[in-house]
A and B are shown apart, each in its own frame.
Chain A
């Protein structure tokens, strides 16, 4: 028993160390791609590591009108992202944390993190942050069903409610017989990925214009270690949701933790570059058009479910 617990703890630690070490490179790659497109040199790929390090060594300033709710936001969103990272299987292995129905936990860990980010934003009483929270609430309301329906289609195909089974070797067989359904799910997941990570065309991570922001405006009042946690959490979120997308599109046949991790990281790097390409070649949508895009992703996953139900098993 103690041996099993020790192994479990070791698996968790190994996964966390990998995610924490690798995640901050991804936004750096996206930024570098954008710089290349606009003919600039751009920041070093490892810039986010230095930024996080710098922020952790700073102090914090809290407005007198805020409460502990503001301080809870970054801690909870970071913890939720780390917890969700444990459900991503590496290589052919099972994820450290896996049980029937874990995909519901996976989806709602992001919900939890969002809830606390939004309440932290509202806690400041700022008109900007209130607007950001309201936008985040409406857009996540629309992104959540797309994610869950996508999971439903995958679960139906895999015959299981566990992330590790959904993303297992079986996916290769499903691609060969039910490719249309998986294509629809992957497209929907890509939109969810861009929304959750506040990237163009939904949000602009680089803007300084508060009135147009969605996610960035909610964290304006955080600084120092709190901001470091937020930055780290968003890098981990990019890693974890990206890994979900990469594993759906490119199922990994076999391999241990390190082999699988290597392949996964390569896939994520390609995804980060792709995000940079998208951000360089199109403008951001008008805010009022974003619900249409999210509804589209919802419809895509919905059709994915219908296809997977209609197809003979």
Chain B
């Protein structure tokens, strides 16, 4: 087993030549065996330096051993698809086919992911699954929506009010983020990393910096690690609180919707005070952070967080104790634990199916190595479970935040980050508020970035939304969609 894969920890870098190159059939078997043992595909991508053959690199996360397995192969023009035996590979294989033109043979659902060249193809112009019958009808929603949200196309096959099948087609927001991260100068690339998904600026900035610090073997001062964790939890709180409010809004329950909406602003304001930007942009830079959380600010933060905690508790009590709200949440958009494991779901979605997957404790990074947040899980996999899980995580995030803020390590904020070392690869996982963010970077002979791979948690979880809608009334789609609240931009890159 050690022969077939390189083992590393989250954020560790290694020489690219040390990653085993397996023959295609052994590569495939190794991934299938690992997934059968409980590992999951964290990221899986192609890499073609210069005129060489495309190399496929797969990073498997072993959550119980707290390690990552990295393996690779050079398949030539075609390879046998993993998807029929390992459904969680489906979107990765489609992406590889789109980016490198190599064909995963036997893939059951080959179609475009993103339309990298808009001159050749019109986004959304692709074949859709269709069902025929007297009683069936098709509803197409998007890419232009009634609310101010991102573009995505949803195609429903319905029987009366019930959805038989939902097909989600994204790619309208493809900006070439990976290419920009490979080719842009450092300050520009940092801004790009913060805009991969606007509501996850901290999460992606953290993953990006961790890759660069690891490639250059730079260390981060403990105080900066703690402030990074504070920012990451503030981002999680703002979004989780906003999600609870949006769920109430979707079922027409106004009081909690309005209060959560205001409370989301409280956390954004804290990020604003910390970094000068409500989304926490420009806070995190390779080597540390740019702004300090002074003792005065710490007192003020603790007080404001404590106040918000009490307000959240009363708004959440109202929400979770109103029978008409519970009647809408319970049993809606259910995902089984098996589907969750098969599809390799991550983040709150997985934890709401009873699967304890949390990078903060499975592959701890930064301040989470010393200060642990207990993993919250809840059984059920429905909208209620996802809402309740967010509620639980809010409480645990707040107590983590308060203890971090009151006990910040002393020291500097930033250490200069040297140039990246040549011929190395680093993988960094961060538990963003939507789940596992994975960034991987590979350097060339002079330390330049040859390949930069970004995976937003939405990349795994969009399929879960489609699964959740099966046999669910179409009128519950907005509610289900809100309970996942996935990123279009993070998927489209």
Interface residues of A (CB under 8 A from B): 34, 37-40, 127-128, 130-131, 135, 200-201, 204, 206-212, 279-289
Taking the complex as formed, is B406 at the interface, i.e. its CB lies under 8 A from any CB of chain A? no
Which residues B316-345 have CB closer than 8 A to chain A? 322, 324-325, 327-328, 332
Contact in complex: B324, A201 (CB < 8 Å): yes
Contact of A211 among B255, B262, B475 (CB under 8 A): B475
A218 → B minimal CB distance (Å): 14
Q: Is the CB of B252 within 8 A of A287?
A: no
A135 to B255, CA, bound (A): 27
**Distance, CA A128 to CA B145, complexed state (A):** 12
Q: Within 8 Å CB of B138, what residues of A?
A: 127
- Beta-carbon contact of B475 and A212 below 8 Å: yes
* Residue B368 interfacial (CB < 8 Å): no
User: Nearest-CB distance from A130 to chain B (Å)?
Assistant: 8
- B49 to A: closest C-beta gap in Å: 47
Please tell me if the beta carbons of B251 and A283 are within 8 angstroms of each other in the complex. yes
Given the complex, which residues of A lie within 8 Å of B477, measured CB to CB?
211-212
* A286–B251 CA distance with the chains assembled, in angstroms: 9
**Across the interface, which residues of B come within 8 angstroms of A289, CB to CB?**
327
Contact partners of B140 in chain A: CB under 8 A = 127
* B14 CB to nearest chain A CB (Å): 48
Task: Give CA–CA (A286, B322) in the complex, Å.
Answer: 14
Q: Say if the beta carbon of B250 comes within 8 Å of chain A.
A: yes
Chain B hits for A286, CB < 8 A: 327-328, 332, 473, 475-476
Is the CB–CB distance between A39 and B258 below 8 Å?
yes
Instruction: Give chain B's interface residue range (CB within 8 Å of chain A).
Output: 20 to 34
The interface residues of chain B, by DSSP majority, are classed as helix
Instruction: Flag whether B411 is at the interface (Cβ < 8 A).
Output: no
Inter-subunit contact A40/B252 (CB<8 Å): no
- Give the shortest distance, in Å, between A283 (CB) and chain B (any CB): 4
Query: Are the C-beta atoms of A284 and B474 separated by less than 8 Å?
Result: no
Question: For B146, what are the chain A residues with a Cβ–Cβ distance below 8 Å?
Answer: 208-210
Given the complex, which residues of A lie within 8 Å of B350, measured CB to CB? none
Contacts of A208 in B (CB 8 A): 146-147
Task: Name the contact of B324 in the complex, choosing from A34, A39, A209, A283 (C-beta under 8 A).
Answer: A283
Residue from the list B147, B252, B258 in contact with A284, Cβ < 8 A: B252
Residues of B within 8 A of A210 (CB): 141, 146
Q: Please report the number of residue pairs spanning A and B whose Cβ atoms sit closer than 8 angstroms.
A: 88
Contacts of A135 in B (CB 8 A): 161
B139 within 8 A of A: yes
Q: How far is the CA of A212 from the CA of B480 in the complex (A)?
A: 12
Contact pick for B252, options A127, A130, A211, A279, CB 8 Å: A279
Least distance between B211 CB and chain A CB atoms (Å): 39
**B257 at interface by CB-CB < 8 Å:** yes
A287 surroundings in chain B (CB, below 8 A): 161, 473, 475-476
* Chain A residues within 8 Å of B322, by CB: 281-283
Q: Given that A131-B474, A285-B327 are known contacts, is A209 also in contact with B250, CB under 8 Å in the complex?
A: yes
Report the separation of the CA atoms of residues A38 and B253 in the bound assembly, to the nearest whole angstrom: 10
Contact present for A38 and B251 (CB under 8 Å): no
Which residues on A sit within 8 Å (CB–CB) of B478? 209, 211-212
Q: In the complex the two chains form, what is the Cα distance from A184 to B60 in whole Å?
A: 64
Q: B180 at interface (Cβ–Cβ under 8 A)?
A: no
A38 and B139 contact, CB distance less than 8 A: no
A200 / chain B contacts, CB cutoff of 8 Å: 252
B186 on the interface (CB 8 Å rule)?
Answer: no
A127-B140, A284-B324 given; 15 more Cβ-contact pairs under 8 Å: A38-B255, A38-B258, A39-B262, A127-B137, A127-B139, A204-B252, A279-B254, A281-B255, A282-B324, A283-B322, A284-B252, A284-B253, A285-B324, A286-B328, A286-B476
CB distance from B322 to the nearest CB of A (A): 7
Query: Which of A127, A210, A211, A284 lies at the interface centre, i.e. has the most chain B CB atoms within 10 A of its CB?
Result: A211
Q: Please measure, in the bound complex, the distance between the C-alpha atom of A279 and the C-alpha atom of B479, giving whole angstroms.
A: 18
User: Judging by beta carbons under 8 Å apart, are A207 and B252 in contact?
Assistant: yes
A284 touches B251 (CB 8 A): yes
Which residue in A34, A38, A130, A201 is a CB contact (below 8 Å) of B259? A38
Listed by A's residue number, 30 A-B pairs whose Cβ atoms lie within 8 Å are A34-B254, A37-B254, A38-B257, A39-B262, A127-B137, A127-B140, A135-B161, A200-B252, A201-B252, A201-B324, A204-B252, A209-B147, A209-B478, A211-B478, A212-B475, A212-B476, A212-B477, A281-B255, A281-B322, A282-B253, A283-B248, A283-B251, A283-B327, A283-B328, A284-B253, A286-B328, A286-B475, A287-B161, A287-B473, A288-B161
Q: Tell me, in angstroms, the Cα distance from A210 to B144 when the chains sit together.
A: 12
Q: Which of B105-163 contact A (CB under 8 A)?
A: 137-141, 146-147, 161
Task: Point out the residues of chain A lying under 8 angstroms from B332, CB to CB.
Answer: 286
Q: How far is the CB of A262 from chain B (nearest CB, A)?
A: 31
- Contact between A39 and B259 (Cβ–Cβ < 8 Å)? yes
Q: In whole angstroms, how far apart are the Cα atoms of A206 and B253 in the complex?
A: 11
The answer to whether A131 touches B139, judged by C-beta atoms less than 8 angstroms apart, is yes
A155 to B144, CA, bound (A): 52
Task: Specify which chain A residues have a CB less than 8 angstroms from the CB of B254 in the assembled complex.
Answer: 34, 37-38, 279-280
Residues of B within 8 A of A209 (CB): 146-147, 250, 478
- Interface-central residue, A38, A211, A283, A288, by most chain B CB under 10 Å: A283
CA distance A285 to B322 in the complex (A): 12
Given contacts A40-B258, A279-B252, A285-B324, A211 and B161 within 8 Å (CB-CB): no
**B452-483 contact mask (Cβ, 8 Å, vs A): 1 or 0:** 00000000000000000000011111110000
Closest to B330 in A: A286
Complex: how many Å from CA A201 to CA B254?
12
In the complex, what distance in Å separates the CA atom of A78 from the CA atom of B479? 33
Contact (Cβ within 8 A) B475 A283 = no
B257 contact set on A, CB distance < 8 A: 38
Within 8 A of A (CB), among B216-271: 248, 250-255, 257-259, 262
Assembled-state Cα–Cα distance A212/B479 (Å)? 9
- Chain B residues with CB below 8 A from A38, complex form: 254-255, 257-259
Task: Determine the distance from Cα of A206 to Cα of B477 in the docked complex, in whole angstroms.
Answer: 17
Instruction: Find chain A residues with CB under 8 A from B248 CB.
Output: 283
B255 lies within 8 A of A283 (CB): no
Name the B residues within 8 Å of A211 (CB-CB).
Answer: 139, 141, 474-475, 477-478
B139 to chain A: closest residue by CB: A127
A206 touches B139 (CB 8 A): no
* A131 and B137 alpha carbons, distance in the complex (Å): 10
Please name all residues of chain B whose beta carbon is closer than 8 Å to the beta carbon of A212 when the two chains form the complex: 250, 475-479
How far does the alpha carbon of A286 sit from the alpha carbon of B248 in the complex, in Å? 13
> How near does chain A come to B244, taking the closest CB pair, in angstroms?
13
Interface members, chain B 250-302 (any A CB < 8 Å): 250-255, 257-259, 262
